[in-house]
Chains A and B, each alone.
Chain A
Amino acid sequence: MVAQLIVNGIVYSSIIVLASIGLSLVYSIGNFANFAHGDTMAVGAFVALASAPLVQAIVPGVTIAGFPLWFFGALLVGMAAAAVVAVVTEYVVYRPLDSSAIGLLITSIGVALAYRALLLMQFGPGQQSYPVSRGGRIPWVESALGVSVTARDVVIVFSSIVLVASLHAMLQYTTLGRKMRAMADNAELARVSGIRTGEVIIAMWVIGAALAGAGGVFLGLDTIIRPRMGFELLLLIFAAVILGGIGSVYGAMLGGFAIGMAHELTPAIPFIGTEYNAAVAFLVMIAILLVRPNGILGGDAT
């Protein structure tokens, strides 16, 4: 059982990592806790779902290892939509606000509720799934390792690795990445040294929201799509970011992995029922905070 749980954990962690990175970016560059991040994931998931018919018509019906190509097109649409929504929200809601970090936090709650309400009003409260067949497990993995891995699992993990690697490359090797790291480190100094902070903030929203959107699409692929999917994950994402250390994107990756694994490995813990898996992840966070209040990689720059 444990081996299968580990596999489940790897898949789930990929989703959490994507979401945590986005949240960590907003925390370190935008300087507030964005409670609308979970619902941004939901936006990505739903737009991808809604765009499926259109994308299916355009993209050739090719499959990669049994997985349809059009899905990746829908994924990109979902990511783009999440980014657009985030940027619009930044201009309409956050930028005109002359408020403290706490004021922004509370405002982001209002934004979260508004996103969720719009999704509810447009799509209804029920659960839906992507029109991708489930396929079942990959036989040779089953016989080789004794665990069940489906094509979906592979797509999720593989795509997440690609996205995270791209982000890393961007942060380390591009000008924009340098600017973002500078702003995360010390916003005043960055501004003084000529970095257009406004631009960087837009980039932060675009990248953070796009990653969240991707996380949402994968969450919907892995489980189901419904309007409250984002809020349900919010606690875990925050736990991951805090665990990894606010202000560190790499910390968020580590934290995301840890929280995702803890969540899926709960059945292996004796005396604690599966129904407490959210509590376990949360308790892991509290435990680490007691020992290292700044998180694993906290205090460092991006």
Chain B
Amino acid sequence: MSVFCAAQSAKRASSRVSSSGSARKSAQRLSKYAASAAPLALSGAAKGAALAEMIFEDGHDSVAVTWINNDYGQSLAEVFEETFEGDIAYIEPHEPEGSSYRGEIAEMGDTDATAWLFITYADEVTVFINEAFDQGYNEEIAYYGAESTIADEILANTEPGSQEGLTGITESAPEGQENYESYASRFEEEFGQAPTVWSAYAYDAFTVSAIAIEAADEFTGASISEVVRDVTRPSGDEVFTFEAAKEILEDGGTPDDIDYQGVSGPIDLDENGDPPGYYQVYSVQDHEYVWGDYITS
């Protein structure tokens, strides 16, 4: 739902792309393009790298990774495997919505990994934590997770102490940054609730697409993708809104003169079109979630 809300607000911004009679058609095409771009922004590429770095720097040379067998899990696990500097003792998928993961736990326990990374959802990690607790692994192993292993229901369904010290990272919006604050309050006015970090992502995806379309020489996929990175990179003036970017372009500026700072972070798309991640660390202390530093990859 939040993606649609963001799409709505971004669509309004994008309908100002061209004032010609084809405005509506452009906006439609834009929505389609951006709808496929939003998942890019949500990709696990940066997150996997951030996790790898964090776990290694915590002193774990050997890690066992269990990832949920779908594209979310697969893509995150692949990035982790590429970027982790130590030894990956175990990296295997587990079935979504399983009722028992004893086999996986036995295999993981059989390695000499000192850290276990759970790339999975709340229901599954609850089962993992409980069954590992039954066998006492919570005392020997450092647990790590990502954005889907933090939820109140996990705490409610597990024993105190069973996941003590579990550490993870989750997306965070740059609270305090001005354009995020104004975005958040506009969002709340419009829809009656605070935006999630996902709607912020979607909003940025649309806005970046809109700027790229403006900046491109022609309305084709190829030329848009040429400029989309330039408008976000740190060269040029920092802009926080579509309107400001458009002004620079109309003054004769090039895509390089724009550096779009999004509501979900500085963006700065790399050569794969992926934004750097902006995350916050959380951990479980005394069976409560405690928030830590911000990191970026």
Contact = CB atoms under 8 A, between A and B. Distances in A.
A and B in contact, CB less than 8 Å: yes
Interface of A: 1, 4-5, 8, 126-127, 129, 133-137, 142, 148, 150, 152, 219, 222-224, 226, 229, 232, 264, 266-267, 273-275, 277
B99 interface: yes
Max chain B C-beta neighbours (<10 A), residue from A129, A232, A275: A275
Contact of A275 (B95, B100, B135): B95
27 contacts: A1-B106, A1-B109, A4-B106, A4-B135, A8-B106, A129-B157, A133-B159, A134-B133, A134-B134, A134-B158, A134-B159, A137-B134, A137-B135, A137-B136, A142-B136, A148-B135, A148-B136, A219-B99, A223-B99, A224-B127, A226-B99, A267-B106, A267-B107, A273-B92, A274-B103, A274-B107, A275-B95
A273 B130 CA distance: 22
A219 to B, nearest CB: 8
A264 B131 CA distance: 14
Contacts of A8: 102, 106
Contacts of B126: 127
Interface in B182-214: none
Contacts of B106: 1, 4-5, 8, 267
Interface in B63-112: 69, 92-95, 99-100, 102-104, 106-107, 109-110
B182 to A, nearest CB: 38
A136 B133 contact: yes
Contacts of A223: 99-100, 127
B164 interface: no
Nearest to B92: A273
Closest 9 CB pairs of A and B: A274-B103, A148-B135, A223-B99, A223-B100, A1-B110, A267-B103, A150-B134, A134-B159, A267-B106
Contacts of B93: 275
A275 B69 contact: yes
B123 interface: yes
A126 B123 contact: yes
A278 to B, nearest CB: 10
Interface in B124-175: 126-127, 130, 133-136, 157-159, 162
Contact of B134 (A1, A126, A136, A277): A136
Interface of B: 69, 92-95, 99-100, 102-104, 106-107, 109-110, 123, 126-127, 130, 133-136, 157-159, 162
A137 B162 CA distance: 12
Contacts of B95: 275
A227 B94 CA distance: 21
Nearest to A225: B99
A84 to B, nearest CB: 26
Contacts of B104: 267, 274
Contact of A224 (B99, B103, B107, B110): B99
A232 B134 contact: no
A89 B69 CA distance: 39
A36 to B, nearest CB: 19
Contacts of B162: 134, 136
B121 to A, nearest CB: 11
A297 B6 CA distance: 65
Nearest to A153: B134
A280 to B, nearest CB: 10
Contacts of A267: 103-104, 106-107
B135 A222 contact: no
Contact of A127 (B69, B94, B102, B123): B123
Nearest to A226: B99
A161 to B, nearest CB: 21
Nearest to A127: B123
Given A222-B100, A223-B99, A273-B92, A136 B107 contact: no
Contacts of B159: 133-136
B39 to A, nearest CB: 26
Nearest to B109: A1
A266 B95 CA distance: 15
A277 B99 contact: no
A266 B107 CA distance: 10
Contacts of B92: 273-275
Contacts of B69: 275
Contact of B99 (A150, A229, A266): A229
Contacts of A226: 99
A135 B95 CA distance: 26
Contacts of A136: 133-134, 136, 159, 162
Given A126-B123, A275-B69, A266 B103 contact: yes
Nearest to A1: B110
A4 B130 CA distance: 16
A84 B122 CA distance: 35
B168 to A, nearest CB: 21
Contacts of A266: 103
A135 B159 CA distance: 8
A220 B157 CA distance: 14
